[in-house]
Amino acid sequence: MADVIRLVSGDSKPVVVLTLSDDNTGAAIDLSPASVTVAVRFKKTGATSLIATINANNLGDGTDGKVQFDFSGGVLTGAVAGSYEGEVVVTTAGVGTQTVFEKLTFRVRDSLA
């Protein structure tokens, strides 16, 4: 299981870097084709509604499966302290959507100010 990603309510720039790989072979997933997009669906644990779908960007040319995303755009504005989860979504135009990656686990705490 992946580590818990710690966040603070109202923050906008915690940058998260992921490396997507094939569970069977361990090989990095090639994300370089222009037809491939990656996003993270973000929601409060136990909730049925998404808070946001956050677009991820390739680091480098994408052949190593590395992407990054952040919480700009107000995703964490008004977030209450507690447990959240994320689902990685890889979409290939004309092929479909892949969501078989391990869920991401987030813990949000209140801001001190």
- Annotate 73-102 with DSSP letters as a single string: TTTTTTPPSEEEEEEEEEEETTTEEE--SP
What pTM did the predictor assign?
Answer: 0.90
Architecture of domain 4-109: Sandwich (2.60)
- Residue in this structure with the two tokens 């973000």, named with its chain if needed: 42
Q: Where along the chain do its domains lie?
A: 4-109
Q: Which of 108, 101, 48, 49 is nearest to 84 (CA)?
A: 108
Per-residue confidence (pLDDT) for residue 100, from 0 to 100: 76
Per-residue confidence (pLDDT) for residue 38, from 0 to 100: 96
Per-residue confidence (pLDDT) for residue 107, from 0 to 100: 97
pLDDT by position in tens, the chain (length 113): 468 999 999 999 889 999 999 888 989 999 999 999 999 999 999 999 999 999 999 999 999 999 999 999 999 998 999 999 999 999 999 888 988 788 999 999 999 97
Q: How far apart are CA 35 and CA 107, in angstroms?
A: 32
Per-residue confidence (pLDDT) for residue 24, from 0 to 100: 87
Helices (H) and strands (E) in the chain, counts: 0, 8
Per-residue confidence (pLDDT) for residue 2, from 0 to 100: 66
The Cα diameter of the chain in Å comes to 47
Q: Which amino acid is located at 15 in the chain?
A: V
The neighbour count for residue 3, using CB atoms within 10 Å, is 7
